[in-house]
Structure 1
């Protein structure tokens, strides 16, 4: 970057996209500060496992100088995929070959830790909940946080996910409910406490669907399994049934009724969970989502192109982050860098948005997916 003075770059959101962007910028000698609303890196469980693809997520990790570390942490055996029908009959089984590295799995928390530990101390400012982005389009921008503090930046990068606050500086678009909802359930110490389920799921993921309902069970590290119960329902389906989100037994009884024709082995995925269920309605941004170029604000990842969880989200976020960081490093002005980045990112994301439009319905389809190319529900 040859501009003088050095631009002040503010990244919002310490997820994989924001962290990847900060890491690659630092590798090119460019400072950036990352602001996140959480109180610290251990504020919450970071979620399930992710498959990072050779043709996008792994490209970003290579540019970040972390690809070998990723391979040491990842689980190539997690590429195993099984598809069953509601009767529990195995219809398809993909077992990864020795040395297969197209999309190995890594727990989201492990990936975040890898990226965080690669950054210079003080890069991430925790407990900074963004309220608004103010100031003229030509800059500088003022970032106003919930604690009353404010900072100035010459470039604001929104990596703050589905409900991005940065997005409102560029677009009026808001995520819309897809009509499909996930209910997440956890199983722990599965080899000892849940050996039948462990055998059913294997080392990767196992899926089944009947057109209206679906199950996706996914092996995580540390002898855990996460189950995603997928339904075409109203967004308030739990309260509409007279239940609360904390009423584990009531929700379980409702699920058993809705999946009453499924095999006993698959129904155990509904009933044997350790702890409560977590409701995760699936939202997506309007298709296509684009905005008029702004020289001081841009977006990456879900903030730019939230899509149904069909195995591409984290990969696109990290590729976005990589390309934006490299554009900043290779152009003389922030404006030129953002223009170059969006010239590639927006058409790519539009194409993928159109491909996955109404893609949440695919999670309920009885058709066999090509597991060798497209793992479902992992990002």
Structure 2
């Protein structure tokens, strides 16, 4: 005899939260997804992702959307070009090797998961103000409008600054000492052929061996755009210290042209010709390993559980966390076993996996 279907809330309609809801729905379990954004197009979703075979791709198989992903993905996006500061190509991977890690724009993948969930799958414009515990191993959400709702399980898929995390852990993200300043180009092949050639079909990285505190990263998107990140080792308030107003695009441009003085002109053009403003994105992470004592009624996935520097692991882990959690919950419901035991089993797998990936990402950042 199976258990009654549990009431499950997922806080956050990012990739992990959506995939968790899609897998649950495939097993006949409706989860309520809460998202503070007003709708799917409320804000940009970032750049391109390379999905790994044993994590991100495996999760998409579990969700039943793998074939659709293949149709939308860009295998050629695996190409990687590395330059020195003099503009010399020092390493090139054409992206045809194994393991296959095809690229897909984050926004495209999110839309794919939203399609799998259905039009009524997300409660948009519904922020969660607070999460607490109630009797019987359940959790309570206090919503932005003051409404209160109780659930058998609340899943924190609400990212770096998770409100759900506070129920199980006192850990808060801290600044790593590195910042990525983002800008972008559109219609690159036609308007910026030099940059298009340097980035190729995938990504470029430019560094100076004698000064590892600064770098340039360029990444091609599926829409013909290129996002550029200026990587810096710097204080959190770097702009204030150098007297630059981030809202003054030309002043920021002049500053970075001075910071990268002596680099090859083709690389400096990345700074000189960018279309978008410069958006400072400090890199934060959680302590590593980040674990917590199991708490009935609440668990975490993705960045809420193991925020780490961006090194190609975060989205992949969020997806596989979501698939593992949803599969465990669905199994418990089908078998008539305990929901809490299923969540414990998920956490036993997720904690060491997240810790190993976080350690690897921290090493990559330090290098």
TM-score over 0.5 (shorter chain):
yes
Q: Which residue of 2 aligns with 1:170?
A: 168
2:122 pairs, out of 121, 124, 133, with 124
Q: Please report how far the alpha carbon of residue 359 of structure 1 lies from its aligned counterpart in structure 2 after TM superposition.
A: 3.5
CA contact (8 A) 2:216 2:231 kept: yes
CA contact (8 A) 1:282 1:360 kept: no
CA contact (8 A) 2:9 2:32 kept: yes
Q: Which residue of 1 aligns with 2:222?
A: 221
Q: Please report how far the alpha carbon of residue 96 of structure 1 lies from its aligned counterpart in structure 2 after TM superposition.
A: 2.4
Q: Secondary structure at the match of 1:215?
A: strand
For 2:362 and 2:83, locate their aligned partners in 1 and report how far apart those are by CA, in whole Å: 25
CA contact (8 A) 2:310 2:361 kept: no
CA contact (8 A) 2:138 2:296 kept: no
For 2:260 and 2:75, locate their aligned partners in 1 and report how far apart those are by CA, in whole Å: 32
CA contact (8 A) 1:287 1:350 kept: yes
For 2:326 and 2:43, locate their aligned partners in 1 and report how far apart those are by CA, in whole Å: 28
1:360 aligns with 2:365: yes
Q: Secondary structure at the match of 1:341?
A: helix
Q: Which residue of 2 aligns with 1:274?
A: 275
For 1:135 and 1:176, locate their aligned partners in 2 and report how far apart those are by CA, in whole Å: 26
Which residues in structure 2 correspond to 1:149-228 (within 5 Å)? 149-210=147-208, 211-228=212-229
TM-score (norm 1): 0.92
1:133 pairs, out of 131, 134, 148, with 131
For 1:310 and 1:134, locate their aligned partners in 2 and report how far apart those are by CA, in whole Å: 33
Q: Please report how far the alpha carbon of residue 137 of structure 1 lies from its aligned counterpart in structure 2 after TM superposition.
A: 6.5
TM-score (norm 2): 0.95
Judged with a 3 Å threshold, the aligned counterparts in structure 2 of structure 1 residues 59 and 137 are, in CA distance, closer, same or farther, namely farther
Q: Which residue of 1 aligns with 2:2?
A: 2
Q: Which residue of 2 aligns with 1:303?
A: 304
Which residues in structure 2 correspond to 1:40-119 (within 5 Å)? 40-97=39-96, 102-119=100-117
**Count of residue pairs brought into register by the alignment:** 360
Q: Please report how far the alpha carbon of residue 325 of structure 1 lies from its aligned counterpart in structure 2 after TM superposition.
A: 0.5
CA contact (8 A) 1:2 1:333 kept: no
Residue deviations 1:63-96 (CA, integer Å, cap 9, x gap): 1110010010011110000011111111111112
For 1:137 and 1:228, locate their aligned partners in 2 and report how far apart those are by CA, in whole Å: 47
Q: Which residue of 2 aligns with 1:366?
A: none
Q: Secondary structure at the match of 2:33?
A: strand
Q: Which residue of 2 aligns with 1:18?
A: 17
Q: Secondary structure at the match of 2:347?
A: helix
CA RMSD of aligned residues (A): 1.4
Unaligned stretches of 5+ residues in structure 1: 363-379
Q: Secondary structure at the match of 1:317?
A: helix
